[in-house]
Every structure is written in C-alpha cells, then in structure tokens.
Amino acid sequence: MCNPRTLAGNRIRELRKGQSMTQEDLAARAGLYSTYIGGVVRGGRNISLDSIGKIANGLRVGPVGLFKFAQKRSCAAVEKDLKQKLGRHDPEVVLQILDLLDASSE
C-alpha cells in the first residue's frame, strides 16, 4: 500500500507546481513555514486537519482537491510489478524505491 502522506505530498506538489508556486510561496499563502511545507511534500509529516485547510486555501482548492489522486496505475499494481522485478528484496525496500521514483518524476 502506498503511504497516504506520500500520496498527499505528491498531490500538493502537483497542485503547487501547476500554479508556478514555490514552496515558499505556498507557505506564505497558507500561513505556514516553508520547512513545514517541504516536510509535507516529502511525505514526512502527518498533517492536521487545520493544516490541510490552510494548504488547500493557499492552493485555492477545496480540501477534497488535495485528495484527488490522479494515478494511472494503482499503488498495489506498481508495488506488485516492483516486487516481481526486484525479486528477494524486502517489501520496505520496494516501497522506498517507489517513493524515490515518485520524487524523481517531478
């Protein structure tokens, strides 16, 4: 299963870049620190409902808009393919590789 924090972080990054905003721009609009936004985008923060609302306002979308994940393939399908290709590797390693691939597709 894909980490929900990673999915949300990727979605926030996608929306932010779609509006040609930097993390600093979003932080200023949302009333949050840019380091906090960076942690959210990397999937390292478990954000509160208050922060979700602030980030959504900063991006000028409704909170639900942060969770409309446009995935061509399900996380389970990608994970299954990676497991088959990587063979004996630990599932946690597979998920780390998936996270790296997500980050590199920016």
Containing H/E element for 43? none
Cα–Cα nearest to 8, from 45, 35, 34, 33: 45
Q: Write out pLDDT tens, residues 4-27.
A: 888 889 899 999 999 999 999 999
Domains (range + CATH), the chain: 4-67 (1.10.260.40), 75-104 (no CATH)
Distances (CA, A) of 103 to 28, 32, 99: 23, 22, 6
For the segment 49-59, the average pLDDT, to the nearest whole number, is 95
Q: Write out pLDDT tens, residues 61-104.
A: 998 888 887 656 666 666 677 667 777 667 777 677 777 776 65
One-letter identity of residue 65: G
Mark residue 43 as left, alpha or beta (left: phi above 0; alpha: psi -120 to 50; beta: remaining): left
